[in-house]
């Protein structure tokens, strides 16, 4: 099986230094997607609406029709739906092409494909083992630091003097009522005086 030309083209370094621009599916919109779909429209292979190519970036709106802003205060933008749908179609077909090529090689040259798999597994095993060991060590150190921090916080809390609870203000005592004056017929000791006995008349 000979490698298809489009696969060789994918593996050839023909790219220029990337510029900061809007990307769709990690591919520059202005320098790749717009010229590509302009060409496919020209050849009659696609019918992407002219307004989608003329204004590919649109403002996003809320349900009430107001402009949508991000939490950082910037206006939210999106790619025109007709253009986005065609980009998704290209992406899906591209992915299917890569899968079909891999399947074709594995089918026509199974021994070579299996040997390549064994080679990459063997080459990657030491790296995977090293990374796993480093990750376990990092987790152990992280856990030890967390435990140490918790113990220090607990020790500081236990050594700190307990805060005194504020005492509730004493309620003012109600003034005592003055003692009631005893009735006129009651002496100060509370004993009612006996009536004086009438003197008996002594007859001669």
Least confident of 11-25, 51-65, 95-109: 11-25
With beta carbons less than 8 A apart as the criterion, state whether 43 and 36 touch. Answer: no
Pull the structure tokens for residue 101.
Answer: 């090529």
Task: State the number of CA atoms in the 13 A half-sphere of 140 facing the CB.
Answer: 6
Predicted confidence (pLDDT) per residue in 107-130, tens digit: 999 999 999 999 999 999 999 999
Q: What is the pLDDT of residue 135?
A: 93
User: Where are the chain's structural domains?
Assistant: 5-108, 111-158
d(CA 70, CA 63): 15
d(CA 49, CA 37): 10
């Amino acid at each position: 099986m000979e490698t298809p030309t489009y696969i060789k083209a994918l593996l050839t370094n023909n790219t220029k230094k990337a510029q900061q621009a809007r990307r769709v599916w990690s591919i520059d919109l202005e320098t790749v997607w717009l010229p590509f779909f302009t060409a496919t429209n020209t050849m009659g292979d696609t019918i992407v609406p002219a307004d989608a190519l003329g204004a590919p970036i649109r403002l996003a709106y809320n349900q009430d029709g107001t402009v949508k802003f991000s939490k950082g205060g910037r206006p939210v933008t999106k790619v025109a739906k007709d253009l986005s749908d065609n980009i998704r179609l290209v992406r899906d077909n591209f992915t299917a092409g890569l899968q079909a090529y891999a399947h074709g090689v594995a089918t026509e040259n199974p021994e070579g494909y299996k040997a390549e798999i064994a080679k990459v597994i063997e080459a990657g095993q030491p790296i995977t083992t090293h990374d796993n060991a480093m990750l376990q060590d990092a987790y152990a150190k992280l856990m030890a630091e967390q435990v140490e921090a918790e113990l220090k916080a607990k020790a500081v809390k236990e050594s700190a003097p307990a805060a005194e609870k504020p005492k509730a203000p004493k309620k003012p005592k109600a003034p005592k009522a003055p003692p009631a004056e005893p009735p006129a017929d009651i002496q100060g000791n509370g004993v009612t005086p006996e009536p004086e006995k009438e003197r008996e008349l002594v007859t001669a």
